[in-house]
Amino acid sequence: MADLQPVRGTRDIIGEDHRRHSYVIDTARRIAASYGFDEWSTPVFEDTRVFSRTLGETSDVVTKEMYTFEDRGGDSLTLRPEGTAGVCRALVTNGLTQSLPQKIFYAGPMFRYERPQKGRYRQFHQIGLELIGPSEPLADAEVIACGWDILVALGVAANTVLEINTLGDRESRDAYREALVEYLSAHRDKLSAESLSRLERNPMRILDSKDEGDRRIVAGAPTIMPFLTEQAATFYAGLKRHLTQFGVPFTENPRIVRGLDYYGHTAFEFVTKALGAQGTVLAGGRYDGLVAEMGGPPTPAVGWAAGIERLSMLLDQAPAAPPSIAVIPIGDEAEAAAIGLLQSLRGAGIRAEVSYRGNLKRRLERANRMGAKSAILLGADDIAAGIVQVKDLATGAQVAVPLAEVASRLT
Ligand code: ATP
Ligand code: MG
């Protein structure tokens, strides 16, 4: 079976990698809970329309990246490329649109048909937050502050910069789009083919282009700021004031737009230079139109998602494997006592493992290899005397301990 490889763009998460992965999720879950977020898990696949309707027919995700297939019943299903659409679908189908605010944390796999490279996979994993209900900029600041606190707790905040922008309200955006199209049209001969195709359908995405030539044109493009309605400008000022009150450092970047079409007002990204081209680790914004697209009432909302693989790569070091105790019965007569001891250690919350076979030397070697900090040796004579030998595997020191006291000595 050696010819069977994992599918391109997927990877096994094992060993140290998995400890990083779990550490990111556990840390985020704990901090999100302290902000009052509850965890939801929605299905990994949904009716294709959950994504095609809401992510915008012109977004990269919908046009190029979705894993869409027909199931045996003939329904078109899609492996979720992101978490927000499913959470909003769940809000509507669970009848929660009148029970606001809802504060949701999630973690799980996402799927996008992309060109695999460092920090970019076809199955990847995200943690994310959605704060559904409030329309105040305090809500935007709070979800950003929670993201910041998670990055701080993971020890990666110093490696990232928070960049924020406003996409304004509909009126600001319409006025801006017109000015932007006018400017870009004057330079259409220098735009990449991809950007040209976006010029009519989704011109703001051109601001976000990675193409060098596009970037030079974009550098001279008008920003949205002078086109903001008074309301949109007030909202943005409120966001910046609250971020400062939360103590979250940020810079403004008028080029930030979100890849998905349902965003307005706040857009933000935590970016790092440490991961090469895949520099965005956590990104989000306000998406007041999405719940209505899903068939619910107009409902304000703001949230973000972060790539667990990218966060894991930024972690300074992997969390250590939990230390283990090796229990080594010497001879068949010692087995019953060994099993009794294992179960009482495990019951006391100690990670205890038995070595299954081999002579004492081999078993000690194996205990060392599995990183055990001590080994408990059970010989028939000792057991008859009610004691065991506890061997410190780092120093080799060995002491006799009454069997009944082992668990309490080790905690
Ligand atoms: P990018 O510009 O890198 O393609 P994106 O705008 O498509 O990112 P979002 O949809 O905002 O990304 O997803 C939020 C986060 O999820 C990203 O900032 C990144 O950390 C992570 N992410 C997105 N796509 C992938 C992928 N294919 N592999 C690994 N992580 C990803
Ligand atoms: Mg992408």
Pocket of ligand 1 (CB under 6 A): 82, 112, 114, 119-121, 124, 126, 259, 278, 280-281, 283, 305-307, 309-310
In the chain, the domains with their CATH numbers are 16-169+229-314 (3.30.930.10), 325-410 (3.40.50.800)
pLDDT at 134: 98
Distance 349 CA to ligand 1 centre (A): 38
Question: Ligand 1, closest atom to CA 120?
Answer: 28
113 alpha carbon, closest ligand: 1
In order of 86, 154, 402, the CA distances from 395 in angstroms are 54, 33, 21
Q: What is the pTM of this model?
A: 0.93
Distance 154 CA to ligand 1 centre (A): 19
Query: By alpha-carbon position, which residue is closest to atom 9 of ligand 1?
Result: 283
Tell me how far apart the 2 most distant CA atoms of the chain are, in Å.
Answer: 93
What percentage of the chain exceeds 90 in pLDDT?
79
- Tens of pLDDT, residue by residue over 165-198, are 999 999 999 999 999 999 999 999 999 998 998 8
CB 306 within 8 A of CB 106: no
* Cα angle for residues 284, 41, 108 (degrees, 5° grid): 60
Residue 59 has pLDDT above 80, yes or no: no
199-204-208-210 Cα dihedral, nearest 10 degrees:
0
Residue 60 has pLDDT above 80, yes or no: no
What string of DSSP letters covers 166-219?
Answer: E---HHHHHHHHHHHHHHHHHTGGGS-HHHHHHHHH-GGGGGG---HHHHHHHH
Q: Which among 111, 115, 124, 208 is the best mutation to test ligand 1's pocket, defined by most ligand atoms within 8 Å of the CB?
A: 124
CB 314 within 8 A of CB 26: no
Residues composing the chain: 411
Distance 102 CA to ligand 1 centre (A): 24
Question: Ligand 1, closest atom to CA 128?
Answer: 14
Residue 62 has pLDDT above 70, yes or no: yes
- Tens of pLDDT, residue by residue over 137-173, are 999 999 999 999 999 999 999 999 999 999 999 999 9
Distance 105 CA to ligand 1 centre (A): 17
Question: Ligand 1, closest atom to CA 259?
Answer: 6
- Tens of pLDDT, residue by residue over 285-343, are 999 989 998 999 999 999 999 999 999 999 999 898 888 999 999 988 899 999 999 99
